[in-house]
Amino acid sequence: MHFYESEWSVPLDSLVPAVREINAFARTLGKPVTFPIEVRCAAADDIPLSTANGSDRGYIAAHVFWGTPYDEYFSGLWSIVREFEGRPHWGKVHAETAETLAPRYPEWDRFQSARCRADSEGRFTNSYLDRVLGPVG
């Protein structure tokens, strides 16, 4: 089964309110959401760009079958999870940029310093990394 997926973490105490808002939003779409959302939890960690950095997190994953338009559903989902300090899964569909992500990660500057030391010439970047991490240096 092929699908598009967008997954976000929110502070654990925001998980239930966020899911309630997503469900309310889904009812306004005028068409059924044909794939259930997944919800899970993870403990805080100290990995600089982990979606669980610094706090216990709840995860919300939304899916849309391959070939189905997802812009309206995912855009609404993204607006909701952003209100709850959401952090997107780095390898799944999202529209965030370095500018919108940096404030959500307490260790952002530490990561950027390490990135600059490890790849000062920007040899290991691409258009996606430029969008979500910004330029090297």
Domain that holds residue 112: 96-137
Q: For residues 101-109, give the mean pLDDT.
A: 97
Q: For residues 118-135, give the mean pLDDT.
A: 96
Q: Are 132 and 97 in contact (CB under 8 A)?
A: yes
Domain identity same for 9 and 70: yes
pLDDT band, very low/low/confident/very high, at 1 (cuts 50, 70, 90): confident
Domain identity same for 79 and 100: no
Q: Are strands 57-65 and 3-11 parallel, antiparallel or unpaired?
A: antiparallel
**CATH number of residue 56's parent domain:** 3.30.70.2520
Domain identity same for 132 and 79: no
Does residue 137 register a pLDDT over 90?
no
Domain identity same for 26 and 82: yes
Domain identity same for 79 and 115: no
pTM above 0.85, yes or no: yes
The pLDDT value given to residue 73:
97
Tokens in use for 114?
A: 């390490």
Which positions ≥6 away from 15 have C-beta within 8 Å? 39, 41, 58, 60
The pLDDT value given to residue 100:
97
Domain identity same for 87 and 100: no
Domain identity same for 51 and 116: no
Domains of the chain: total:
2
pLDDT band, very low/low/confident/very high, at 16 (cuts 50, 70, 90): very high
**CATH number of residue 124's parent domain:** 1.10.45
The pLDDT value given to residue 19:
98
